[in-house]
Amino acid sequence: MMIGGVNPPRRRGKTASLPATSQGVDMKIPLLTLSLLAACGSVHAASLCDDLHPATPPYERDFAYSVAPQMAMKRVPAGAVVGAAAPAPQAEAATNDAVAQFGIGGTVITTPENTEKYAHQDINPVQRTADNPVSTFSIDIDTGSYSNVRRMIEKENRLPPADAVRIEEITNYFTYHYPLPTDGKPFAVHTETVASPWQADAQLIRIGVQAADLDPGKRPPANLVFLIDTSGSMDAPDKLPLVQKTVCHFAEALRPDDHISLITYSGFTKELLSPTAGSEKTKIVDALKTLYADGSTAGGEALRMAYDAAKKHYRADGINRILLATDGDFNVGISDPEALKTYVAEQKKSGISLTTLGYGSGNYNDQLMEQLADAGDGNYSYIDSLDEAKKVLVRQLTSTLATVAQDLKIQVEFNPATVKEYRLVGYENRVLRQEDFNNDKVGAGDIGAGMNVTALYEIIPQGKPGWLDESRYQKAATTQGKTDEYGWLKLRYKNPGASDSQLLEFAIPAHSIPLAEASEATRFAVAAASYAQALKGGTQNGNLDWDGILRLAQAAKGDDPYGERAGLLTLIEKAKSLAAGK
């Protein structure tokens, strides 16, 4: 087929997904803001990043027309781009109204079937305290679910699939300003118990963990390997172009004693940039300008090369981390999720952690991205906008890179004299066995400098009607022992690089206050969890409807310098409209 007298570019090995962008900002380290924003706010830095766009692939540079203006605009029948007398299998499988369009590099792509992948997790069940008084789980510092869901609601005008919603990641997206530790410990622990808005006579125990802050100037120097997916599926405005600007702004925030390497992968893997000092901004940006999307995705082999590079330049006195930017669509080499997780888990023993940054839609593999970060002692973020990229890798740079406590586990022993039933809200894929708590060989989540982590338990006090029928043969709960405690809270963690864990213990007082009288942090956390539960079907929200969730969030909005809480209000209103079919 001829277009404008010139043959269209050949189709790449993978199809790209539709663009989706959003906005959202966050800040979890107040101390970081002034220094990094000052460092990143110059005209020179902004122009370096703003001018970035994917390069034209070598085989397209001789075309007589410019492909850039045709980006995502020129549409032709899907079968017409095959270029053969008989339809290709892909064309035969397409629907009657399937179309092709030009991607960011001028290549012909077709609108793909939605093949996004999300892991299924059943909601945590209600537990009878008399039968199972102990609950154990790992912390989770990921926030990818929040921004991924935001992309669906704001830009695609649809409610997310239930499995895309992880309640703890939505709750932990926000800053709660818990008091910092004052006793020299790497984190402080705060609890508050309030009346539940979801169930009559139920109460909510909010556990807040606040990591110690760290002056950005005192952060250890970093050995960083940015692993960038440049396969054909990254040929979309919300993928490779956004990755380029993400890395650029990240580089602007680095210190001179930091070093960054760039490794790209598609049909083959190559080192685009050897370790380069953070002061050499222009050199880093020049390397980014050469990127273009093409070919298949040999992600497994790319991970091997990234770990090899990180080991080669390992800093015993610093931070060693790989940052993987991809849509997660691995299809060449090691592509089995279990094999990838096993490999990453083995590599973390060398002291190199893995952060995953997800991009795009249509073929996005959320399941793999979240699980790789978990296996690699890192964190998972979904980048739906440049604002989100700056939030994660500029304002939260120290928090993303510098770990203050490793393998942080939480265990609550509920008091059967005061608590009849309980359930853990979220953290379904972080639940541990009771014996795992004291087993230092069993890993858990790490927490970065200045981060906060929030968890909620909903409980039914003794003497109140609960979720479960009374047992015919169960003995009445004992009234002996302490009645002034709802439970005993224990946390285990390791100092960075240590092999033996430390133990912290706290009582949870048997005292509750009305939700309206609770701290702003607790009220907003409950609102965020309510929003997440509603997106998962609302079966745990009782009579709290969308309007009630909105009122709760509005009343707890408080100080919101970056508009992240206002963003949740907007999402609640939009989700309400979508749920009503409007």
Q: Which fold has domain 127-214+403-546?
A: Immunoglobulin-like (2.60.40)
Q: Which helix (H) or strand (E) is 312 found in, with range?
A: helix 299-312
Residue (of 32, 141, 136, 37) closest to 403 by Cα position: 141
The answer to whether 376 and 348 are in contact (CB under 8 A) is yes
How confident is the model at residue 482, as a pLDDT? 82
Is there a shared CATH topology between the 30-53+216-399 domain and the 127-214+403-546 domain?
no
How confident is the model at residue 560, as a pLDDT? 97
How confident is the model at residue 112, as a pLDDT? 60
Give residues with Cβ within 8 angstroms of 161, minimum separation 6.
Answer: 118
Q: Return the domain boundaries, the chain.
A: 30-53+216-399, 127-214+403-546
Residue (of 73, 144, 137, 77) closest to 102 by Cα position: 73
What does CATH list as the number for 30-53+216-399? Answer: 3.40.50.410
How confident is the model at residue 80, as a pLDDT? 37
For the chain, what is the radius of gyration of the CA atoms?
25
The 3-state DSSP class for residue 336 equals: coil
How confident is the model at residue 153, as a pLDDT? 99
Per-residue pLDDT tens, the chain, 582 aa: give them: 443 333 334 334 443 333 333 433 343 444 444 444 444 443 344 558 988 889 888 766 554 344 443 333 333 333 333 333 333 333 333 333 334 445 555 555 555 678 999 999 999 999 999 999 999 999 999 999 999 999 999 999 999 999 999 999 999 999 999 999 999 999 999 999 999 999 999 999 999 999 999 999 999 999 999 999 999 999 999 999 999 999 999 999 999 999 999 999 998 899 999 999 999 999 999 999 999 999 876 677 899 999 999 999 999 999 999 999 999 887 645 667 888 999 999 999 999 999 999 999 999 999 999 999 999 999 999 999 999 999 999 999 999 999 999 999 999 999 999 999 999 999 999 999 999 999 999 999 999 999 999 999 999 999 999 999 988 886 655 556 689 999 999 999 999 999 999 999 999 999 999 999 999 999 999 999 999 999 999 999 999 999 999 999 999 999 999 999 999 999 999 999 999 996
Give residues with Cβ within 8 angstroms of 274, minimum separation 6.
Answer: 261
Residue (of 431, 377, 433, 430) closest to 405 by Cα position: 377
Can you list the positions of beta strands (E) in 359-440?
380-382, 403-414, 419-425
Phi-psi region of 5 (alpha: psi -120 to 50; beta: other; left: phi over 0): left
Report field, pTM of the whole predicted structure over 0.75: yes
Distance CA 101, CA 19 (A): 13
Burial degree of 467 (CB within 10 A; 0-12, 13-18, 19+): middle
Distances (CA, A) of 552 to 114, 312, 389, 439, 568: 34, 51, 28, 40, 11
How confident is the model at residue 329, as a pLDDT? 80
